[in-house]
Each structure stands twice: as structure tokens, then as C-alpha cells.
Amino acid sequence: MGKDRKKEKIMFWVFMAPALIAFLMVQVVPFFLGLYYSFTNWTASAQSSIDIVGLKNYIDAFKDTTFLYSTIITTIYTLLNIVLVNIIAFSLAMLVTSNIKGKNIYRAGFFLPNVIGGIILGYIWQFVFNSFVPKVGLALGIAWFDKNMILANANTALIALVIVSTWQYAGYIMMIYVAALQNVPRDLIEAAQIDGATPWQRFRAITVPMLMPAFTVTLFLTLVNSFKQYDVNASLTGPGPSIFFMGKAINGTELLAQNIANTSLVLRNTALAQAKAIIFFVVLVIFSLIQVYLTKKREVEL
């Protein structure tokens, strides 16, 4: 028996080994290394020694106007995205669960942008905003579109980012709503119908409360994915047109993930980038905990 036990234990580690080793190598060690490096003077250039500098990077991060600006626009971008993606996705879900013809084709069509990589999407939409939109504006006689390049202005470029992420993400969130809508019990709706509830009343009093668990998921996903946006940001706008913020010229459409990346890739200050990344992580966790708390509270038990 004792021998079996021991063999069992060895087999446990044998089966764990491939995944565990990769996991330790790629996530655990770098995570703790990263924590350590955020307190040092590590740079992306060759250096003779890496020394501990205490909280300097964190203080620098809080003083860094580009980081503050990125946090602000990322928050705005995330909020706009949450609202727009979910409204569109929900409407699409209602549409493709209604009794129209060709539902499956619609579903696949709306979902398609989601399987295309963000980098490629960004280039496609660069063309849309730079060539297609001005031409359409001209054809419709809207002079504004012809005179203003959407991507050349920090504010409109941010809106452009929201449009592209909505286009990319709505079909995916739609399918989560579709799954949830199909789970709303038919007899509940029929009972309400017999009681004389109007379609709007049925929607407000049955469908929406029954969908609260789905809202928890969709809001969480849009929140986290918007906050971490990098690919579309990098290829559609890049750092963007420069603007004045708190008396300094800075990049107008640099979302947080890009700000972190460029702090190391462009400015070569990897330790500062690392400190920013850890702040980013903490902020993201706080935001998502608040969101999950708020939506969970509204879920109903059946």
C-alpha cells in the first residue's frame, strides 16, 4: 500500500509537470521578477548593474502627466465602450432571436469581426476613416468630413477607436446575450401574456431581471477588454496626434497599455513601465470588483 501511495504521488507530479513548468516559467517567475524590477533602475538599454531605488518608479509614475492622461482617456474609452458595445450587442441579440429569416447568417456575420486580429482590424479601419469616410461625406455633401480627418484629431480619433472596438466586439457579446435570452423560461413569458402584460412590461419585468447574470459577464468582459486594449490602438491611431495637456505636449490617443509599452520600447525606462503596469493591474482589479459587486447585487434568484 505504501509503495502504491508513493507511486501515486510521483504520477501526480509527472502529469502536472508540463503545464506547471510552463506556467512557472512564463507567469509566476516573471510576475515576481516584475514586482522586484519595479523597485529598481532597470532600463531597456545595456547597463552594468540593476540597483534598487525604492519607490522612485511609483512616485515617477504618479507624477508622469502622460500616464495620468492615458488613465483618463482609457477610462473614458472604457466607459463609452461598455455603453456602446452592450447597447448594440443587446439590440443585435434581440434581432437575431426574433422571428426573422436567416438568423444564423446574421449571427455569423455579426460575429465575424471578432475572429480577426486587432492589428489587422486597425489597418482596415485606417483605410475606412482616411479614404472611405471623406468620400462618403463628400457625396452626401457633409463638408465637415471632407475638411477634418477623423484620426488626426485626438478627440475624434478616440471616438474612432470606440467605433472599431464596438464593431469588433459587439457580435461576441451578442452571442452571450443570445444564450441568456434562450434561457428565459417560455412558460414565465406565456403566464405574463395570459395575465395581460404588454410586450414592454414583459421585457422590463421578466427578460431584463432574468438577464442580470448575463449582464455581469458582458459588462465584466467589455470592461476588462477595453481597459487592456492595445492592438487596435497601436495600428489604428498609434500614439496619435500630439495635444497639450497640463502645459505639456503629449500623445493624444495613447491608451494605458500602449503608454506602458512605449515607456519601455520608446523611452527605454523599463522599470518605470513595470511600475505603471502594476498600478494598471491594481486599478483594473478595483474597477472590475466594483463592477461585479454592483451587477451581482441586482441578480435575481429564480
Partner 1 sequence: MNRKLTRNILEFAGITLSIFFLIPLVLVLINAAKSNNEITMTPLALPGNWINLFKNIATIWASPNVGYQKAFFSSVVVTFFSLAGITISSAMAAWVLVRTKSKISTFLFFMFVAAMVIPFQVVMFPLVRWFSILQSTFGIQLLRSYTGMIIAYMGFGCSLSIFMFHGFIKSIPIQIEEAAYIDGCGKFKTFFLIVLPILKPIYVTVLILNGIWIWNDFLLPMLILGKGTDVQTLPLAVSNFAGTFLKSWDLMMTAILMALIPIVIFFILGQKHIIKGMVEGSVK
Comparison of 76 and 285: residue with beta carbon closer to partner 1: 285
In three-state secondary structure terms, 139 is helix
- Nearest to partner 1 of 5, 297 (CB atom): 5
Task: Please select the residue that binds partner 1; options are 6, 30, 294, 298, rule is CB under 8 A.
Answer: 30
CA-wise closest residue to 144 among 152, 134, 154, 153:
134
Beta bridge partners of 250: 243
DSSP characters over 59-79: HHHHH-HHHHHHHHHHHHHHH
Q: Which stretch binds partner 1 (CB under 8 A): 54-62, 101-109, 147-155, 240-248?
A: 101-109
Report the SS3 class of residue 16.
Answer: helix
Report which of 230, 236, 273, 70 is spatially closest to residue 157, judged by C-alpha positions. Answer: 236
> Binding residues for partner 1, how many (CB under 8 A)?
82
Instruction: Count CB atoms within 10 A of the CB of residue 66.
Output: 19
Q: Which of 80, 89, 221, 255 binds partner 1 (CB under 8 A)?
A: 221
Task: Output the smallest distance, CB 57 to partner 1, in A.
Answer: 13
Residue 100 sits in the site that holds partner 1 (CB under 8 A) = yes
The region of 79-87, 200-208, 244-252, 270-278 touching partner 1 under the rule CB under 8 A is: 270-278
Instruction: Show the site string, 166-205: x = touches partner 1 by CB under 8 A, - = not.
Output: -x---xx--xx--x--------------------------
* The only residue of 40, 84, 85, 107 in contact with partner 1, by rule CB under 8 A: 107
Per DSSP (E only), the strands in 154-294 are 242-245, 248-251
* Strand runs labelled E in the chain: 242-245, 248-251
Amino acid, res. 192: A
Residue 292 within binding range of partner 1, rule CB under 8 A: no
Q: Taking CB under 8 A as the rule, does residue 239 contact partner 1?
A: no
Per CB under 8 A, 39 contacts partner 1: no
